[in-house]
Amino acid sequence: MGLHASAEKLGELERLDAPAEAAAKAVQQVVGRGAVKDLLSGARLGHPLHPLLTDLPIGMLAGATALDLLAKQRGEHAADVLVGLGLLSALPTAAAGAADWSDSYGPDQRVGAVHAIANVIGLGLYGWSLRARGRGDRRTGTALGLAGMTSMAVGGYLGGYLSHSRGVGVNNAFYQHAPADWTAVLDEAELPEGTSARAAAGDATVLLYRANGQIHAIGSRCSHAGGPLDEGEIDAANRTVTCPWHRSIFRLEDGSVVHGPASVPQAAYETRTEGGQIEIRLRR
Ligand code: FES
């Protein structure tokens, strides 16, 4: 069976649901929905944090194993330092990954759980390797590092599968091609003061909201995981909308992220009314 098919099979293992859901709930309770979640999800960066950080532990631990195998005595000190730094950098990386994973469901949650387990096993083996190195047992340290890298390669593949095959952690609104020229989307009478509506504009769907005579328009498909913002809660005082799926909050005026887990802003549109029609175009 190929790698892709194996990952698909993992996603069908419903027996993983009970422990995965309990663990996800525990992570949600620890992380909450405020500043810590924003930090770990990358809401302030405009980019998910976890994939940015994964290069550090993977790069350093792989570098250590390469030195173990290729530079032997000359590379001993550097390899040991890299193992220590790789393990340290794995802590924030795992925290960011756990925060992202806690918002997943079904196959994504199952594969994500196995991704995490493979990486935790890999890190445990590197930790054991560090102890062996401290005792001067290079042979055991090298072997444990190699086993750790093998386990992390499995974890890394599953992380890539989640992103590239299942669209986890990517901007889910990217392929909504928004109109760059003025496009009529709704009869003005269908959007009275203080109300919101969903409209289609080319390939894109848009959330419209009218307040104080001003019409706001942002993409209605949530950048985080594709949730329908037009079914979300609108906070009229703060001019924000909360996604009904994982409660990311976006500003209606410009689509910016107020709170994660979303890290990418929504498309924002200019609006005008012409001949009784609301028209929009992508804000430049
Ligand atoms: S889909 Fe997750 S916050 Fe909107």
How far apart (Å, rounded) are the C-alpha atoms in residues 67 and 216? Answer: 56
Reported confidence tier of residue 244, pLDDT bands at 50, 70, 90:
very high
Q: Give the tens place of pLDDT for each residue, 207-242.
A: 999 998 899 999 999 999 999 999 999 999 999 999
DSSP state of 12: T
pLDDT at residue 269 in the model: 94
What is the CA(242)–ligand 1 centre distance, in A? 9
Residue 124 has pLDDT above 80, yes or no: yes
Q: Give the tens place of pLDDT for each residue, 15-44.
A: 999 999 999 999 999 998 889 999 999 998
Closest CA to 143 of 90, 88, 65: 65
What is the CA(267)–ligand 1 centre distance, in A? 15
What is the CA(245)–ligand 1 centre distance, in A? 5
Q: Mean pLDDT of all residues in the chain? A: 94
Q: Which atom of ligand 1 is nearest to the CA of 244?
A: 4
Q: In this predicted model, which residue has the larger pLDDT, 252 or 46?
A: 252
Q: Give the tens place of pLDDT for each residue, 184-214.
A: 999 999 999 999 999 998 888 999 999 988 9
User: Is the bond preceding residue 261 a cis peptide, omega within 30 degrees?
Assistant: yes
Mutate to test the pocket of ligand 1, among 172, 174, 224, 233 (most ligand atoms within 8 A of CB): 224
Q: Which atom of ligand 1 is nearest to the CA of 103?
A: 2
Residue 68 has pLDDT above 90, yes or no: yes
pTM exceeds 0.75, yes or no: yes
**What residue owns the CA closest to ligand 1's atom 2?**
246
Reported confidence tier of residue 1, pLDDT bands at 50, 70, 90:
low
How far apart (Å, rounded) are the C-alpha atoms in residues 162 and 243? Answer: 22
Q: Which atom of ligand 1 is nearest to the CA of 232?
A: 4
What is the CA(147)–ligand 1 centre distance, in A? 37
Residue 176 has pLDDT above 90, yes or no: no
Q: Which atom of ligand 1 is nearest to the CA of 172?
A: 1
Q: Give the tens place of pLDDT for each residue, 142-168.
A: 999 999 999 999 999 999 999 999 999
pLDDT at residue 64 in the model: 97
Ligand 1 binding pocket, CB closer than 6 Å: 222, 224-227, 243, 245-246, 248, 261-262
